[in-house]
Amino acid sequence: MAKLVVLVLCVVLVYTISAKYVDKRKCPEVRAVPHFDLPRMLGDWFVVEYYASAEEALSYSCMKAVFTEDDHVPTADDGIYNTYVLDTEYKTWALLLHCAEQTEGARYLSAFVLSRNTTLPKNVMAYLRDKLPRYDVDVNYVFPIPHKDCSTKPPMFDYSPILVEVGSKVPKRPGVSYKVAFGH
C-alpha cells in the first residue's frame, strides 16, 4: 500500500512539473477569434498597451497600427510573425498576439492592446489583461503607451537612438507606427 501511495505521488509530481513547463522556443497554442470578420477589423488603431519578450522597459509613445487589405505593405523591419486576434469588439478594442520562432534561441512574443481611441476604460483593460497569461505573457511587463502630444498624423517608425530634447533631461523614444496588411 505504501508503494502505491509513493507511486501515485510521483506521478502527480511529474504531471504538475510538466504542466507548468513552457517551451520558450515555441509559439503558444492560440485560440483566435472564431468567425473573424476582417473588414470590421480594418482601419486605424491606437496601441494603448504593449508587451514584448525582448524588451524590459519601454518608453515608446504614440504607437498606432493601420490594418489594410493590401497584399503587402513593405516596412524596414519585414519579418514573418504569426499574428492572432485573441479577442475583439471591432468598434472599440482588440487584443493581438505576435509570435515568431527563431532558428536558435527563444521565440519573439509580443502582445498589443488596441483601441480605436487613445484610451480604454479600466474594466476593459482588466478584461483584456486577464487573457494574456494564457499565452505566456507576463502582465508585469505589459507597458502603457501614452498618446499625449501626438500629432493627428500617425508617426513614422524611426530607428534613431533615444532622443533627448534641448533643455530636457528626459530621454524619449520616437513614435512608432505599424502598418499591417492581410494577404489574400
Q: Say how far apart CA 105 and CA 22 lie, in whole Å.
A: 14
Amino acid at 69: E
Q: Is residue 66 part of a domain?
A: yes
The domain tally of the chain equals: 1
Q: Is the separation of the CB atoms in 86 and 135 below 8 Å?
A: yes
Q: Which tops the pLDDT comparison, 8 or 86?
A: 86
CATH of residue 69 = 2.40.128.20
Taking Cα atoms as reference points, which of 147, 132, 138 lies closest to residue 60? 147
Residue 147 has pLDDT above 50, yes or no: yes
Residue 71 C-alpha cell reads as 497584399
Q: What is the pTM of this model?
A: 0.67
- Domain, as residue range, for 125: 41-181
Does residue 96 sit in helix, strand or coil? strand
Strands, DSSP E only, in 54-119? 64-68, 82-88, 93-100, 108-115
Residue 41 has pLDDT above 80, yes or no: yes
Q: What are the tens digits of pLDDT across the range 74-90?
A: 555 545 567 889 999 99
